Chain A
Amino acid sequence: GAGVSQSPSNKVTEKGKDVELRCDPISGHTALYWYRQRLGQGLEFLIYFQGNSAPDKSGLPSDRFSAERTGESVSTLTIQRTQQEDSAVYLCASSLVQGDQPQHFGDGTRLSIL
């Protein structure tokens, strides 16, 4: 498809397990972003990729969170030893970098930690 694709759309897991969330950005978009949205709230920035490198990781809440991007395309957000406070919708967005550009969002992964 032409849009940003995220998988899985829903993930339910037990506290303490590791989870991997995947994002396929729009082809040709060199910038990729991860955000977290807790219930009823706005989005919190997690990490930004320019190509395969991450010049801004300032939003990652703890060292249990990590992300990588390969081939200037797919990105994976990994949460290790999940906690109940990790429950949220994780949204990925991509954009062109040049100038003032809007970000294009996927529908997110709804993560529930039991």
Chain B
Amino acid sequence: SQQGEEDPQALSIQEGENATMNCSYKTSINNLQWYRQNSGRGLVHLILIRSNEREKHSGRLRVTLDTSKKSSSLLITASRAADTASYFCATVFTGGGNKLTFGTGTQLKVEL
């Protein structure tokens, strides 16, 4: 089974609002990554957070990692219609080489 579970499965917000997505995983990790996927396209890497980091920022993105709870969150501030996409968390787990284990994804819709 996939390691990650994400919630919510779907999220609909108005432009300008913040969007928060959560991810949980099951085993020890080296790092956790967030990716965005627009419909019919490949995945675009957003941000990587290492297991010894607790928070990371990139532009309008803020990621937190709580290894004690085996969870992460992605916050998108001041959302735009162009942020509409599916968002996936993925982990590189300890001893798993470099492969990514993906969560089930959150479908974000940002309405004008």
Q: What CA separation (Å) do A100 and B98 show in the bound complex?
A: 9
Q: Could you say which residues of chain A place their CB within 8 Å of the CB of B42?
A: 4, 91, 93, 105-108
Q: How far is the CB of A32 from chain B (nearest CB, A)?
A: 10
Q: What CA separation (Å) do A23 and B45 show in the bound complex?
A: 18
Q: What CA separation (Å) do A105 and B35 show in the bound complex?
A: 10
Q: How far is the CB of A75 from chain B (nearest CB, A)?
A: 15
Q: What CA separation (Å) do A102 and B58 show in the bound complex?
A: 14
The answer to whether A42 touches B103, judged by C-beta atoms less than 8 angstroms apart, is yes
Q: Could you say which residues of chain A place their CB within 8 Å of the CB of B31?
A: 100
Given contacts A91-B42, A107-B42, is CB(A42)–CB(B104) below 8 Å? Answer: yes
How many positions in chain B have a CB within 8 Å of any CB in the partner chain?
26
Q: What CA separation (Å) do A100 and B53 show in the bound complex?
A: 13
- Does B102 touch A at the CB level, under 8 Å? yes
Given contacts A41-B104, A45-B101, A48-B98, is CB(A100)–CB(B50) below 8 Å? Answer: yes
The answer to whether A102 touches B30, judged by C-beta atoms less than 8 angstroms apart, is no
Q: Could you say which residues of chain A place their CB within 8 Å of the CB of B104?
A: 41-42
Given contacts A56-B97, A100-B30, is CB(A43)–CB(B48) below 8 Å? Answer: no
- Does A103 touch B at the CB level, under 8 Å? yes
Q: What CA separation (Å) do A42 and B26 show in the bound complex?
A: 16
The answer to whether B2 touches A55, judged by C-beta atoms less than 8 angstroms apart, is no
Q: Could you say which residues of chain A place their CB within 8 Å of the CB of B88?
A: 42-43
The answer to whether A100 touches B92, judged by C-beta atoms less than 8 angstroms apart, is yes
- Does A97 touch B at the CB level, under 8 Å? yes
The answer to whether B98 touches A105, judged by C-beta atoms less than 8 angstroms apart, is no
Q: How far is the CB of B81 from chain A (nearest CB, A)?
A: 22
The answer to whether B2 touches A42, judged by C-beta atoms less than 8 angstroms apart, is yes
The answer to whether A100 touches B99, judged by C-beta atoms less than 8 angstroms apart, is no
Q: Show the binding face of B for A, using Cβ within 8 Å.
A: 2, 4, 30-31, 33, 35, 40-45, 48, 50, 88, 90, 92, 97-105
Beyond A100-B48, A105-B35, 18 additional pairs, beta carbon < 8 A: A33-B99, A35-B100, A41-B105, A42-B2, A42-B103, A43-B90, A43-B102, A44-B2, A44-B102, A48-B97, A93-B42, A100-B30, A100-B31, A100-B50, A102-B48, A105-B42, A105-B43, A107-B42
